[in-house]
Amino acid sequence: MAVTDVFLDRLLHHIKGRGIPVVSLDECVARLDSNDHSPFVCLTFDDGYRDNYDVAYPVLRSHAAPAAIFLATGLLDRTSPMWWHPLERALAVGENFGLGASRHAIRSETDRRHVYAEWADRFRRLDPAGKVRLVEDLAEANPHFRRSDAFESALSWDMVDEMARSGLITFGAHTVSHPVMAHLSESDLIEEVGVSRDRCAARVGREPRYFAYPFGQPHETGPLAPRVVAQAGFSAAFTTQATTLRSGADRFRLPRIMLTQQTQNTAAIDAYLSGLTELIKTLGVRSHG
C-alpha cells in the first residue's frame, strides 16, 4: 500500500492535465452535500508515518495539492507501536521468525504470508500494553525485528505543526492505539475516539472534523464505532471499502480506494474517475442477483 514519490508526482501531473481538481476534505464533503457529480480527487494518508512528511509532503507542496493525514495519536506520542512496520521488514529479510515454539522457517512467499497473518492476528487482539510487551519480546528474539521501526517510523508533532501551518494538510483522528475497533467495548471505543480527538485538537490547534477507522473493513469497524464517532462530534468518517464516493452515502461509512502496487498507474486512476469500475461492480451484482 506504499505509494512512491515518483508515482505521486506523476499522479498529480496527470490529474491536473485532465483538469480534475484535487480537493481538501472540507471541499470533498461539501461536494457530496451539494450533489455535485463532477469528478474530483481527495488524497488521504493513514496512521501518521514519518514518510508522509519526508516523502509525500514535498511533492504535495510542489503541486500546491491539499491532502489529509489521519493520526493515530499514540504512534506520534511513542506510546503505541507501529507493530506492522517491523513485522513486515523482519519477514522480508529473515529466514525464520517467532518466539519459542511459535518460531517458523520462512522459505517461500506463502510462508511469509502465513507467518505475517499469524502474528498480525496476535497483535490485533492485544491491548496497548500487551502490544508494547510483544514488540519488546520479538525484538529480543529476532535480529531483523527492530524496536526502532515500531516507535520511530511515525511523524513527530513538530512535523505536524509545520504541515498544519502550510494550509495544505488537514489532520483527522485515527484512534490512539490503532486497534481493531470491532474488538473493543463501547467504553473503550469512546476512549480511543475521544482521546485521539482531544490530542489532535491540543497539538494541531483545532478540533478535527474527520475520522478514519483503523483497518477499515466492515468486520473490523464493527456496528458501534460509527455511532461513537458521530457522538464524539465528527462530521464524517472514512472506511477502507474500495468504492468511489457518491452523494447520499452514509457520512460515517464513507469509502476510500487504496492505491496498491497493482493500481499505481494512470490507467487505473482513469478507470476509477470514469465511474467504469462502479458500473462493472453494479452489473456483476445484478447478474448474480
Give per-residue pLDDT as tens, 10-57: 999 999 999 999 999 999 999 998 888 888 999 999 999 999 999 999
Tell me what pLDDT residue 167 has.
Answer: 95
Give per-residue pLDDT as tens, 94-120: 889 999 988 999 999 999 999 999 999
In this structure, are strands 96-97 and 169-173 parallel, antiparallel, or unpaired? Answer: unpaired
Residue scoring higher pLDDT (246 or 57): 57
Tell me what pLDDT residue 102 has.
Answer: 87
pLDDT > 90? residue 86? yes
What average pLDDT is seen over the chain? 92
Please choose, from the candidates 237, 239, 126, 110, the residue with its C-alpha nearest in 3D space to the C-alpha of residue 183: 126
Tell me what pLDDT residue 286 has.
Answer: 55
Alpha carbon distance 155, 52 (integer Å) = 8
pLDDT > 70? residue 288? no
Asked if 239 contacts 258 with a C-beta cutoff of 8 angstroms, the reply is no
* Mean pLDDT computed over 208-227: 96
- Residues 6+ positions from 256 with CB-CB distance below 8 Å: 44, 212, 216, 238, 239, 240, 241, 242
pLDDT > 90? residue 264? no
Delimit the domains of the chain by residue range: 5-77+154-283, 84-151
Beta-sheet strands, E only, within the chain: 44-47, 67-71, 96-97, 104-105, 169-173, 210-212, 236-238
Asked if 170 contacts 163 with a C-beta cutoff of 8 angstroms, the reply is no
Place domain 5-77+154-283 in its CATH homologous superfamily.
Glycoside hydrolase/deacetylase (3.20.20.370)
Residue 233 φ/ψ, nearest 5 degrees: 100, 10
* Mean pLDDT computed over 154-172: 97
Tell me what pLDDT residue 133 has.
Answer: 96
Tell me what pLDDT residue 283 has.
Answer: 66
Computed over its alpha carbons, how large is the radius of gyration of the chain?
Answer: 20
Give per-residue pLDDT as tens, 133-157: 999 999 999 999 999 999 999 999 9
Give the confidence band of 259 by pLDDT, cuts at 50, 70, 90. Answer: confident
Tell me the residue type at 214. P
